[in-house]
């Protein structure tokens, strides 16, 4: 497919809102609800709110970045694509914000909840990206947004989607739609930026430094989140096992990149997510002619 | 076709924002008139044969419209970064896609009219007054001046486009008219957002009216000169031109800025 077609509003309309989102409401089946075991258990509900806040923080950054890059885009096809991405990211902000409301966050406490629970490393990760966007640095902005941030989101959503497939179909369906969006976004980053980097090789060191800084703060976010989640994970497993035994069935396994998410402990979960994201970074950066820079391990 | 400001302004503000400034509302709104209409027209709509003079006039007019749509795309996307709240950011994100779609369907129509690389040539063909307007709008956006940006973008530019497209539809060939009809439906939502946002701001800060009047005084000559040139190109009789100005001024007057 030609770039002009693949990046067009027409293609996006037919594949996304008129395609995989058709018939959905806030990204899930109409009328679907968060499971009772989650809403009624304060440990699990708080953990779900904490996780969803990180998703909102990431998506707000993606919305600011994709919209901020439109004026810096060098051609109409890129502007069109970023316009569709802007609305995708706005939709993600909307559906994850709605999930916070579904989990019981009051509307007038939304901002204070986000401020209180946002991981400071994730906030810094977003700031590094938005500094490039503010300078209208299109190439660095697209690498930071469509390779690094979207690569992070893509793998994180995939892992969460796998883990929630049987226990929370509403959230898993919401994540499926965002994964489909992120796949398009990552593809744009790879296809469009490779040629621009070949034209401006002098930009490589600065972009690689940005990638290294962003990767460090990403790993630090993972470390904070997983290490703080250990007790909630144990509680979630206890509840799932209790439900399964009541139904007379064994809990299902959910294998993702070789790790059974139903049994893995927090450090194993952190390791599989970090390794998967970093491996994806290396592959995708190499495709556009950049060399992956290893950050320090937090 | 006329706007119904009463309907927009009569609603409770929080409920209005929740309902209207959402992806869900946007999709429900556009689905009806975009589904099955690739590039904004029914696949059955024939491509009309136009004589050389009419074809050339339409190319020049659509080129000018493209400049307006690029201005709106760059303006609305730039405003997301400093919009005051989440619903406003989400509404502007829907507007960004609308504006990009308008540009896309107009470039497609230019292609049907035989323009080989419409994207590369539309700016050279377009109206200089509108180019000047775009520069002014993008300066407000670059300065992160919310009040001036919403006014210039969602009230003045959108009202100008609404009036121009509405008038053009009456004399356009059926395919162009159908395309403009879909664009007009989007513009009504965009004007509604601007009127609602500014209307409520002015109710709390009536002193801001003075500043908006100054901006309007500065931009009106560019708007009216753009109209004059475009309508001349389209061959609209001089007697009908005041009607376009009236449609534009009516929108602005709803904010109490007509004097």
Look at B31 and A18 and tell me if their CB atoms are within 8 Å: yes
Distance from CA of B165 to the nearest CA of A (A): 21
Describe the crossing of helices B208-234 and B158-171 by its angle, rounded to 10 degrees: 20
Predicted confidence (pLDDT) at residue B2 exceeds the cutoff of 90: no
Predicted confidence at residue A91, as pLDDT, reads 94
**Per-residue pLDDT at B1:** 31
Please give the pLDDT value at position A1: 53
Nearest to B232 by CA among B185, B166, B168, B188: B168
Find, among A69, A199, A222, A55, the residue nearest to A144 by Cα. A69
Question: What are the tokens at A167?
Answer: 């226990």
Count contacts between A and B (CB, < 8 Å). Answer: 90
Q: Which residues of A touch B22 (CB under 8 A)?
A: 94
Interface pTM (ipTM) of the complex? 0.88
Instruction: Say what the pLDDT of residue B16 is.
Output: 66
| pLDDT at B257 exceeding the cut of 60 | yes
Q: In this complex, is the C-beta atom of A251 within 8 Å of any C-beta atom belonging to chain B?
A: no
CA distance A192 to A150: 15
Instruction: Give pLDDT, residue A140.
Output: 95
- B77 vs A18: CB contact, 8 Å cut-off? no
pLDDT, mean of residues A171-179: 96
**Distance in angstroms (rounded) separating the CA atoms of residues A196 and A58:** 26
pLDDT at A3: 55
Determine the pLDDT at residue B259: 52
Find the CB nearest B74 among A26, A70, A97.
Answer: A70
- Averaged confidence pLDDT in chain A: 91
| Model pLDDT, residue B5 | 41
**More confident of the two residues B255 and B157:** B157
Rounded to an integer, what distance in angstroms lies between the CA atom of residue A12 and that of residue B224? 36
Check CB contact under 8 Å for A94 and B90.
yes
> Is pLDDT of B14 > 80?
no
Average pLDDT of the residues of chain B = 86
Band of pLDDT at residue B100, cut at 50, 70 and 90:
very high
Which residues on chain B are in Cβ contact (under 8 Å) with A25?
24
Predicted local distance difference test score (pLDDT) of residue B246: 78
Q: Which residue has the tokens 């500043």?
A: B211
Residue with tokens 């879909």: B182
The least confident of A199-208, A247-256, B149-158 is: A247-256
CA distance B133 to B152: 9
Calculated CA dihedral for residues A89, A94, A100, A104, nearest 10 degrees = 180
CB pair distance less than 8 Å for B24 and A26: yes
Task: Note whether B74 contacts A71, CB cutoff 8 Å.
Answer: yes
- Cβ atoms B69, B99 nearer than 8 A: yes
- Between A56-60, B216-220, B248-252, the lowest mean confidence (pLDDT) is in B248-252
The tokens for A58 are 């990431």
Do the beta carbons of residue A146 and residue A138 sit within 8 Å?
A: no
> What whole-number distance in Å separates Cα of residue A137 and Cα of residue A130?
10
Backbone φ and ψ for A26, nearest 5 degrees, come out as 50, 35
**Residues of chain B positioned with their CB less than 8 A from the CB of A63:** 80, 89, 93
Q: Running DSSP on this structure, what letter comes out for residue A201?
A: G
Cα distances (angstroms) measured from residue A29 to each of A23, B38, B161, B192? 7, 27, 38, 30
Query: How many Å apart are CA B82 and CA B141, to the nearest integer?
Result: 9
Please state the rounded mean pLDDT for residues A32-47: 95
* Contact between residue B78 and residue B145 where contact means Cβ atoms under 8 Å apart: no
Structure tokens at B182: 């879909």
Q: Pick B220 or A214 by higher pLDDT.
A: A214
A16 to chain B, any CB pair closer than 8 A? The answer is no
3-state SS class at A31: coil
pLDDT number for residue A57 = 97
Q: How confident is the model at residue A46 (pLDDT cuts 50, 70, 90)?
A: very high
pLDDT digits (tens, 9 = 90+) for B45-88: 888 999 999 999 999 899 989 999 999 999 999 999 999 998 89
Residue partners of A90: CB distance under 8 A and separation at least 6 = A63, B23, B89, B90, B93, B94
Beta-bridge partner residues of A260: A255
Helix (H) or strand (E) holding A256, with range, is: strand A255-256
Q: What pLDDT digit, counting tens, does each position of A135-166 carry?
A: 999 999 999 999 999 999 999 999 999 999 99
Q: Please judge whether A70 and B119 are an interchain contact, meaning their C-beta atoms are less than 8 angstroms apart.
A: no
DSSP one-letter code for B22: S
Distance CA B244, CA A149 (A): 47
Name the band, by pLDDT with cuts 50, 70 and 90, for residue A2: low
**Highest mean pLDDT out of A186-190, A258-262, B119-123:** A258-262
pLDDT at B11: 56
- Nearest Cβ partner for A67 among B26, B81, B101: B81
Q: Which residues pair with B43 in a beta bridge?
A: none
Which of A70, A126, A178 is best to mutate for the B interface (most B CBs within 10 A)? Answer: A70
Inform me whether the pLDDT recorded for B251 exceeds 80.
no
Mean pLDDT of A190-202: 87
What would the pLDDT profile of B208-218 be if each residue is shown by its tens digit? 999 999 999 99
Cα–Cα separations (whole angstroms), residue B145 to A60, A120, A289: 21, 29, 39
CA distances (Å), A3 to each of A151, A188, A191, B110, in order? 21, 9, 9, 19
**Among A215, A237, A222, CA closest to A267:** A222
Closest of B181, B39, B34 to residue B110, by C-alpha = B39
pLDDT in tens, A281-294: 999 999 999 999 99
Model pLDDT for residues A178-189, shown as the tens digit of each residue = 999 988 888 887
Chain A contact for B101 (CB, 8 A cutoff): yes
Partner A contacted by B238 (CB < 8 A) = no
> By the 8 A CB rule, do B96 and B80 touch?
yes
Q: Which of A13-27, B24-38, B147-161 bottoms out in mean pLDDT, i.e. has the lowest? A: B24-38
Give the confidence band of A260 by pLDDT, cuts at 50, 70, 90.
very high
* A125-143 mean pLDDT: 95
According to the model, what pLDDT value does residue A33 have?
96
The whole model's pTM is what? 0.90
């Amino acid at each position: 497919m030609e770039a002009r077609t693949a990046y067009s509003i027409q293609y996006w309309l037919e594949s996304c809102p008129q395609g995989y989102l058709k018939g959905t409401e806030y990204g899930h089946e109409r009328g679907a609800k968060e499971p009772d075991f989650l809403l009624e258990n304060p440990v699990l509900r708080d953990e779900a709110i904490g996780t969803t806040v990180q998703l909102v923080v990431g998506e707000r950054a993606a919305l600011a970045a994709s919209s901020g890059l439109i004026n810096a885009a060098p051609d109409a096809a890129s502007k069109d694509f970023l316009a569709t991405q802007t609305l995708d990211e706005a939709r993600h902000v909307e559906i994850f914000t709605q999930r916070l409301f579904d989990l019981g966050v009051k509307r007038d406490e939304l901002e204070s909840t986000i401020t209180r629970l946002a991981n400071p490393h994730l906030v810094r990760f977003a700031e590094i990206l938005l500094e490039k966007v503010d300078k209208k640095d299109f190439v660095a902005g697209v690498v930071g947004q469509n390779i690094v941030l979207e690569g992070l989101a893509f793998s994180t959503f995939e892992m969460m989607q796998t883990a929630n497939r049987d226990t929370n179909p509403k959230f898993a369906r919401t994540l499926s739609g965002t994964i489909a969006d992120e796949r398009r976004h990552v593809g744009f980053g790879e296809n469009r930026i490779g040629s621009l980097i070949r034209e401006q090789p002098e930009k490589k060191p600065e972009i690689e430094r940005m990638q290294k800084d962003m990767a460090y703060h990403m790993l630090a976010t993972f470390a904070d989140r997983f290490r703080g989640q250990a007790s909630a994970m144990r509680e979630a497993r206890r509840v799932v096992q209790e439900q399964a035994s009541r139904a007379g069935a064994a809990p299902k396994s959910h294998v993702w990149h070789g790790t059974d998410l139903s049994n893995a402990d927090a450090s194993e979960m952190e390791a599989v997510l970090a390794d998967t994201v970093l491996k994806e970074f290396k592959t995708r950066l190499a495709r556009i002619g950049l060399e992956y820079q290893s950050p320090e391990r937090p | 076709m006329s706007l119904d400001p009463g309907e927009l302004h009569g609603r409770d503000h929080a409920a209005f924002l929740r309902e209207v400034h959402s992806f869900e509302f946007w999709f429900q709104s556009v689905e009806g008139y975009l589904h099955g209409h690739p590039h904004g027209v029914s696949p059955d709509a024939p491509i009309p044969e136009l004589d050389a003079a009419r074809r050339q006039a339409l190319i020049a007019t659509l080129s000018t419209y493209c400049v307006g749509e690029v201005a709106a795309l760059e303006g609305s996307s730039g405003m997301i970064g400093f919009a005051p709240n989440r619903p406003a950011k989400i509404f502007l994100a829907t507007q960004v896609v609308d504006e990009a779609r308008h540009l896309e369907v107009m470039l497609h129509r230019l292609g049907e009219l035989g323009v080989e690389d419409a994207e590369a040539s539309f700016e050279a063909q377009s109206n200089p007054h509108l180019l000047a307007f775009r520069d002014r709008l993008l300066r407000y956006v670059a300065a992160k001046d919310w009040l001036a940006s919403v006014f210039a973008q969602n009230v003045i530019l959108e009202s100008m486009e609404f009036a121009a497209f509405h008038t053009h539809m009456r004399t356009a060939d059926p395919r162009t008219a159908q395309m403009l009809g879909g664009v007009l439906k989007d513009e009504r939502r965009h004007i509604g957002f601007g009127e609602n946002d500014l209307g409520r701001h002015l109710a709390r800060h009536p002193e801001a009216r003075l500043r908006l009047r100054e901006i309007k005084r500065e931009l009106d000559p560019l708007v009216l000169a753009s109209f004059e040139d475009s309508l001349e190109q389209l061959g609209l009789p001089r007697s009908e031109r005041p009607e376009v100005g009236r449609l534009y001024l009516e929108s602005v007057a709803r904010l109490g800025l007509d004097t």
